[in-house]
């Protein structure tokens, strides 16, 4: 019998459909894999095998009755802990929400359940999605399956590592400045940030409302597209949700994977994303991918986005400002942790002590920064100016997309770094988001797919494609086109080349949020 965890979601769906396997078998295989490796990787904050197997059994019953809820009915799914779930704790990686059970499901979780997907558990993340390494999780870091002494990227390091380590075929993530795409780049997986408003934010614990977007993480472009088809579309609970009739992203991915699909495609290469900030191996694989695209008939054009120079600065004003307000609700009154003070204390003292004890250093740093950026006398210079930079970046993209179909950049400047390496240097950490942030500021979609392994350190790197707002299908098509060429060269997905990590050398780390 083949190892079911090595299959893609699309392959598993096909096997479930033809009866060659069952959801219980598939789910059990992934639970076994989690039990075997997650003590080392720590991709999950919470798993509940009973719950998952019950959902799998229900799926098998539907299949047997000839009434599957969707093509994906019975395929397991990992869920980032930023998404609220009624049957598993939702902590957003924070102590302040330890053990909290939401009385409602996030819309994307509801849709996944309605499609028959089997939730495997909740994945680790930087606290409230603030970080690029998952080291800011209150429950300990996730490790990169390619090298367990290195970070898996962030904030969605748990979802990316779970997928990369074959603990789940695909996973849900959220991307505020790169939290889906940068971990994909770091772990050799696929991550897609949809157009802002394409996927509902209802039930995604807010970091920065005008930047957050939920999206899929997977090992192949098609799997990401399949998941996007399940979770996307209009939701009355989210005012920023778009009412567009979206095409099937899976169809776009399948069509893109056909030979000849890249012919005549105009790809813009952003001049700003090169130079010494970018690691040599990252640029080598990026250029190789461009050459491959050109050989397949795409036209490679140089473009300039002059205002992206200000993107990181604008982002680190808008995000903390919105986050400082979004995180005010964690006050010990209606949910979550409450600090105990001797003598009781006033409600004001209890709130302040709770937030002191419940938030980690990065969260405090950003809340204070955001409070500063919004405070009287500073608003115009900081938040107001950052919103203007947003306009400039949108104009840059509009200008570029007037002459090209998609833009291509390296997803992030470097490969995975060692755990702890950048923890004391917030600005170095923030600089990791340089290529991913502009898409969030402009609301446009972006996808990262593996482009190879950096020769100097043997670690995976990714290439990012960006498309105009609402053109998510284009990204799936282009990414699937390049992926097909790369897979042909590699003989399969990049992650099948990952070195097997040693699961015996680490002690089981404590599970948080359970």
Distance CA 36, CA 415 (A): 26
- Piece in contact with other proteins (CB under 8 A), picked from 3-11, 32-40, 70-78, 440-448: 440-448
| Closest distance to other proteins from the beta carbon of 139 (Å) | 17
With binding defined as CB under 8 A, does residue 443 bind other proteins? yes
Instruction: Identify the CA nearest to 88 among candidates 120, 41, 129.
Output: 120
Distances (CA, A) of 331 to 92, 93, 328, 362, 493: 15, 17, 7, 18, 45
133 is catalytic: no
Q: What is residue 138's DSSP assignment?
A: T
Nearer to other proteins, 98 or 299 (CB): 98
DSSP state of 278: S
Closest approach of Cβ 382 to other proteins, in Å? 7
Q: What angle do CA 470, 473, 476 make, to 5 degrees?
A: 130
Give residues 262-281 in contact with other proteins (rule: CB under 8 A): none
- Determine the interface stretch with other proteins among 257-265, 288-296, 319-327, 497-505 (rule: CB under 8 A): 319-327
Check binding of 204 to other proteins (CB under 8 A).
yes
Does 61 participate in binding other proteins (rule CB under 8 A)?
A: no
Region 371-390 residues binding other proteins, contact defined as CB under 8 A: 371-376, 379, 381-390
Residue with tokens 């009739």: 245
76-80 β-sheet, strand order: 44-47, 118-123, 76-80, 170-175, 213-218, 190-193, 446-453, 460-466, 406-410, 266-270, 299-303
Nearer to other proteins, 30 or 111 (CB): 111
Q: What angle do CA 379, 381, 385 make, to 5 degrees?
A: 95
Q: Which stretch binds other proteins (CB under 8 A): 6-14, 279-287, 326-334, 501-509?
A: 326-334
The least CB distance from residue 127 to other proteins, in Å, is: 13
Stretch that binds other proteins, among 9-17, 62-70, 275-283, 305-313 (CB under 8 A): 305-313
List Cβ neighbours of 125 (8 Å cut-off, separation of 6 or more).
80, 81, 82, 92, 93, 134, 137, 154, 155, 156, 157, 158, 159, 179
Beta strands (DSSP E) in 160-283 are: 170-175, 190-193, 213-218, 266-270
Q: Which is nearer to other proteins, 10 or 204 (CB)?
A: 204
Task: Tell the smallest beta-carbon distance from residue 215 to other proteins (Å).
Answer: 15
Q: Give the pair of three-digit tokens for residue 75.
A: 């395929």
179 as an active site residue: the answer is yes
CA distance 77 to 39: 19
486 binds other proteins (CB under 8 A): no
Residue with tokens 């990049």: 494
Give the residue with the Cβ less far from other proteins, 103 or 260.
103
Least distance CB 93 / other proteins (angstroms): 12
- Determine contact, residues 37/151, Cβ cutoff 8 Å: no
Please report whether residue 14 would count as binding other proteins according to CB under 8 A: no
Query: Three-state SS string across 342-370, please?
Result: CCCCCHHHHHHHHHHHHCCHHHHHHHHHH
Q: In whole angstroms, what is the distance from residue 251 CA to residue 74 CA? A: 21
Is position 49 an interface residue for other proteins (rule: CB under 8 A)? Answer: no
CA 207 to chain centroid: 14
Annotated catalytic residue within 23, 52, 59, 80? 80
Nearer to other proteins, 98 or 288 (CB): 98
Q: State which of positions 466-485 bind other proteins (CB under 8 A).
A: 469
Smallest distance, Å, CB 44 to other proteins?
Answer: 20
Nearest to other proteins of 170, 330 (CB atom): 330
Q: By CB under 8 A, what part of segment 104-123 binds other proteins?
A: 104, 106
Which residues inside 216-245 make contact with other proteins, applying CB under 8 A?
236-240, 242
In this structure, are residues 133 and 391 in contact, taking their beta carbons and an 8 Å threshold? no
Contact (CB, 8 A) for 438 and 306 = no
Which 127-186 residues touch other proteins, going by CB under 8 A? none
333 contacts other proteins (rule: CB under 8 A) = yes
Match 């608003």 to its residue by tokens.
379
- Subset of 388-427 contacting other proteins (CB under 8 A): 388-392, 394, 426-427
Q: Which is closer to other proteins, CB of 237 or CB of 418?
A: 237
Distance CA 387, CA 383 (A): 6
Report the residue number, 44 or 330, with the smaller CB distance to other proteins. Answer: 330
Q: How many CA atoms lie within 13 A of 264 on its CB side?
A: 3
- By DSSP bridging, strand 213-218 and strand 190-193 are antiparallel
Catalytic residue among 90, 155, 289, 332: 155
| Least distance in angstroms from the C-beta of 181 to other proteins | 16
User: Can you tell me the distance from the alpha carbon of 176 to that of 326, in angstroms, rounded to the nearest whole number?
Assistant: 14
Q: Interaction with other proteins in 336-355: which residues (CB under 8 A)?
A: 336-338, 344-353, 355
Is 332 a binding residue for other proteins by CB under 8 A? The answer is yes
Out of 52, 92, 137, 179, the active site residue is 179
CA distance 228 to 199: 8
CB of 238 to other proteins, least distance (A): 5
Of 166, 359, 465, 501, the one binding other proteins (CB under 8 A) is 359
* Cα 447–Cα 225–Cα 37 angle in degrees, nearest 5: 80
Joined tokens for residue 94:
């924070």
Is residue 274 flagged as an active site residue? no
Number of residues that bind other proteins (CB under 8 A): 100
Among positions 34, 37, 43, 97, the unique one binding other proteins when judged by CB under 8 A: 97
| 496 binds other proteins per the rule CB under 8 A | no
Q: Which strand (E) or helix (H) includes residue 322?
A: helix 311-326
Q: Is 334 in the site for other proteins (CB under 8 A)?
A: yes
Query: Catalytic positions, please?
Result: 80, 155, 179
């Amino acid at each position: 019998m083949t190892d079911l965890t090595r299959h893609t979601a699309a392959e598993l769906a096909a096997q479930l459909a033809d009866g060659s396997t069952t959801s219980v078998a598939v789910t059990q295989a992934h639970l076994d894999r989690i039990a075997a490796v997650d003590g080392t990787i720590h991709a999950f904050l919470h798993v509940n095998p009973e719950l998952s197997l019950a959902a799998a059994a229900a799926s098998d019953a539907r299949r047997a009755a000839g009434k599957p809820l969707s093509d994906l009915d019975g395929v397991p799914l990992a869920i980032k802990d930023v998404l609220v779930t009624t049957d598993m704790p939702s902590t957003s990686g924070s102590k302040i929400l330890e053990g909290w059970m939401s009385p409602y499901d996030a819309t994307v979780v509801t849709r996944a359940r309605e499609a028959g997907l089997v939730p495997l558990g909740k994945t680790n993340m930087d606290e409230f999605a603030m970080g690029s390494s998952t080291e800011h999780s209150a429950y300990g870091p996730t490790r990169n399956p390619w090298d367990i002494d290195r970070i898996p990227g962030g904030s969605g390091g748990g979802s990316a590592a779970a997928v990369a380590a074959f603990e789940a075929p695909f996973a849900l993530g959220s991307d505020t400045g790169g939290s889906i795409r940068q971990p994909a780049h770091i772990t050799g997986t696929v991550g897609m940030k949809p157009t802002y408003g394409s996927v509902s934010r209802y039930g995604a614990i807010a970091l920065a409302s005008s930047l957050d977007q939920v999206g899929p993480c997977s090992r192949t472009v098609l799997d990401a597209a399949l998941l996007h088809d399940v979770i996307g579309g209009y939701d009355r609970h989210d005012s920023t949700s778009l009412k567009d009739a979206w095409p099937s992203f899976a169809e776009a991915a399948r069509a893109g994977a056909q030979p000849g699909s890249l012919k005549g495609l105009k790809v813009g290469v952003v001049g700003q994303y090169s130079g010494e900030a970018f690691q040599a191996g990252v640029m080598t694989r990026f250029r190789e991918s461009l050459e491959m695209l050109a050989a397949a008939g795409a036209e490679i054009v140089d473009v300039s986005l002059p205002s992206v120079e200000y993107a990181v600065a604008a982002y680190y004003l808008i995000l903390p400002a919105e986050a400082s307000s979004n995180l005010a609700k964690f006050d010990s009154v209606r949910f979550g942790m409450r600090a105990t003070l001797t003598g009781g204390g006033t409600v004001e003292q209890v709130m302040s002590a709770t937030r002191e004890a419940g938030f980690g250093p990065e969260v405090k740093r950003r809340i204070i920064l955001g409070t500063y950026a919004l405070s009287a006398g500073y608003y115009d210079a900081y938040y107001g100016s950052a919103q203007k930079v947003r306009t400039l970046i949108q104009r840059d993209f509009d200008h570029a997309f007037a002459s090209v179909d998609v833009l291509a950049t390296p997803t992030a400047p470097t490969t995975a770094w060692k755990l702890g390496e950048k923890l004391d240097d917030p600005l170095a950490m923030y600089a990791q988001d340089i290529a991913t942030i502009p898409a969030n500021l402009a609301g446009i979609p972006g996808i990262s797919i593996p482009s190879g392994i950096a020769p100097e350190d043997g670690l995976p790197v990714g290439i990012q494609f960006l498309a105009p707002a609402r053109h998510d299908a284009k990204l799936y098509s282009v990414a699937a086109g390049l992926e097909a060429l790369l897979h042909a060269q590699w003989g399969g997905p990049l992650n099948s080349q990952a070195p097997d990590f040693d699961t015996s050398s680490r002690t089981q780390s404590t599970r948080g949020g359970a």
